[in-house]
């Protein structure tokens, strides 16, 4: 089996992640911060160690600004709904995942003005000049998708951050596809809010997410409740991270996330990046050499993460995905990838495309096997006779951040 769906969730995880989660549940599975016995203290230590590792991954100046959530979607909801009010204005890109698009749409219905910058290249690439031109007197936030989950295109966040800082506007990035894969420095990029998925580039389990909140920003919590601190008060604590972390956390998931981030830090983000770029270049070159394949989105010269979406002439995306799965045991993602806005920009809406997404544990043999399979598909007649259920099973069933 060949797994090329790492943009949905990374697989496999490093062995240390499996071992850590098993050991944590067996030896430290108490409720952190709620009791004074040694198991609870040990659980709290694991949570705080993970927080510290994440601060190191992002070059965050204070680990208390690292907030644990259940996923990147919750992180983005906290950032957007905790900050924006009716009458505020947001500048964003036009290729966001629904985890960014949908909460912004809800806020629009409540009186927030949203400007979606398309970019001038037809691929959704946003320049600092594009962003600056869209700023209004009431602009309260600039929110940018760091790397597209459809095309892999990387936005110039350092330059956009300079625009945000010059205008005194908070800067949010959706780093679901970039954290753990690209070097990230919230200080150098003037980032105030950064949302990430723990189960993708950081190599942790599902059910883990993070929101970095700089000291320049205060958010209203999405929820209030037990924090294990200031229990005598009916008011939500104001100190971080308790202010934003009500309820029992996903401690075993956080333990696994800590192990995944530790693996990334030990291996080196630059090492991971070089490996994925080698495979990406091989994949793009192989697909581009096939006259019946159209690569969607990013121009070849743009910076990308290991995500490539493509169409095959004469075949629907669902048909290609079904054949890759059933005939070649290659796992890819087809459909709209929970990013219809991006597909509208790329001209692949409403059907979508086939997406292959590379992870650190993929090899050149995996890429060559995919290219060989696509070559066989393009040489064959379209599989219009495939059972409907087979193609639907490989359609757009939803992708979680």
* Same domain membership, residue 364 and residue 259: no
- Its pTM surpasses 0.75: yes
**381 φ/ψ angles, rounded to the nearest 5 degrees:** -75, 145
- For 392, the 3-state DSSP assignment is helix
- Omega prior to 241 cis, within 30 of 0: yes
E strand spans, 132-249? 139-145, 171-174, 193-197, 209-213
Query: Is residue 216 a contact partner of residue 65, using CB atoms and an 8 Å limit?
Result: no
For the segment 356-391, what is each residue's pLDDT rounded down to a tens digit?
A: 999 999 999 999 999 999 999 999 876 554 444 344
Name the domain boundary from 267, 291, 313. 267
Residues 245 and 336 in one domain: no
Q: How many domains are there within the chain? A: 2
Domain assignment present for residue 400? The answer is no
Q: How far is CA 301 from CA 125, 154, 281, 297, in A?
A: 12, 11, 11, 12
User: Is residue 258 included in any domain, yes or no?
Assistant: yes
The mean predicted confidence, pLDDT, of the chain is 92
User: For 165-196, what is each residue's pLDDT tens digit?
Assistant: 999 999 999 999 999 999 999 999 999 999 99
Instruction: Provide CB contacts within 8 A for 45, sequence distance 6+.
Output: none
**Known catalytic residue: 338?**
yes
Q: Where are the alpha helices (DSSP H) in 229-303?
A: 251-267, 269-288
Give me the pLDDT at residue 262, please. 98
Q: Is the residue at 389 inside a domain?
A: no
180 and 306 assigned to the same domain: no
The residue annotated as part of the active site, out of 72, 189, 296, 338, is 338
109 and 122 fall within a common domain: yes
- The CATH number assigned to the domain holding 338 equals 3.90.1150.10
Q: Which domain holds residue 327?
A: 2-9+268-379
My answer on whether 210 and 337 are in the same domain is no
Query: How many beta carbons lie within 10 A of that of residue 70, not counting itself?
Result: 16
Kindly state the tokens that stand for 42.
């040990």
Whether residue 316 sits in one domain with residue 236: no
Residue 71 lies in a domain: yes
Percentages helix, strand, coil for the chain (3-state, rounded to 5) are 40, 15, 45
154 domain residue, yes or no: yes
* Residue 391 lies inside a defined structural domain of this protein: no
Q: Let me know whether 134 and 25 are in one domain.
A: yes
- Nearest to residue 78, comparing CAs of 264, 240, 199? 240
**Quick check: helix, strand or coil at residue 334?**
strand
């Amino acid at each position: 089996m060949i797994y090329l769906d790492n943009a949905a969730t990374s697989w496999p995880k490093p062995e240390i992640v499996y071992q850590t989660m098993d050991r944590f549940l067996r030896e430290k599975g108490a409720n952190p911060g709620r009791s004074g016995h040694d198991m609870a203290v040990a659980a709290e230590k694991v949570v705080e160690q993970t927080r510290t590792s994440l601060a190191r991954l992002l070059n965050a100046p204070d680990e208390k600004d690292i907030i644990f959530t259940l996923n990147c979607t919750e992180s983005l909801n906290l950032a957007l709904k905790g900050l924006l009010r009716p009458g505020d204005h947001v500048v964003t890109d036009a290729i966001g995942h629904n985890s960014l698009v949908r909460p912004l749409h809800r806020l629009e219905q409540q009186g927030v003005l949203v400007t979606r910058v398309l970019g001038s290249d037809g691929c959704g690439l946003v320049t600092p000049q594009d962003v600056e031109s869209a700023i209004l007197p009431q602009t309260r936030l600039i929110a940018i998708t760091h790397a597209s989950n459809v095309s892999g295109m990387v936005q110039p966040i350092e330059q956009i951050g300079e625009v945000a800082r010059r205008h005194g506007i908070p800067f949010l990035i959706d780093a679901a596809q970039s954290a753990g894969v690209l070097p990230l420095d919230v200080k150098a990029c003037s980032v105030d809010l950064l949302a990430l998925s723990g189960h993708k580039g950081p190599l942790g389990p599902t059910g883990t997410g993070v929101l970095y909140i700089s000291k320049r920003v205060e958010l209203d919590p999405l929820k209030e409740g037990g924090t294990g601190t200031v229990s005598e008060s009916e008011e939500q604590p104001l100190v971080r991270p308790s202010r934003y972390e009500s309820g029992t956390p996903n401690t075993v998931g956080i333990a696994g996330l800590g192990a995944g981030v530790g693996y990334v830090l030990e291996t080196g983000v630059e090492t991971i990046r070089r490996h994925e770029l080698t495979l990406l270049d091989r994949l793009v070159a192989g697909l581009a050499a096939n006259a019946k394949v159209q690569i969607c989105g990013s121009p070849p010269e743009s910076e990308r993460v290991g995500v490539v979406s493509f169409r095959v002439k004469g075949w629907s995306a669902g048909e290609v995905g079904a054949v890759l799965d059933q005939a070649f045991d290659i796992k890819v993602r087809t459909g709209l990838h929970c990013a219809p806005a991006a597909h509208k920009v790329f001209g692949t809406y409403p059907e979508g495309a086939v997406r292959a997404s590379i992870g650190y544990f993929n090899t050149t043999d995996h890429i060559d096997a995919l290219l060989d399979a696509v070559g066989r598909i393009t040489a064959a007649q379209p599989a219009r006779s495939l059972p409907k259920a087979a193609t639907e099973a490989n359609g757009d069933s939803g992708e979680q951040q």
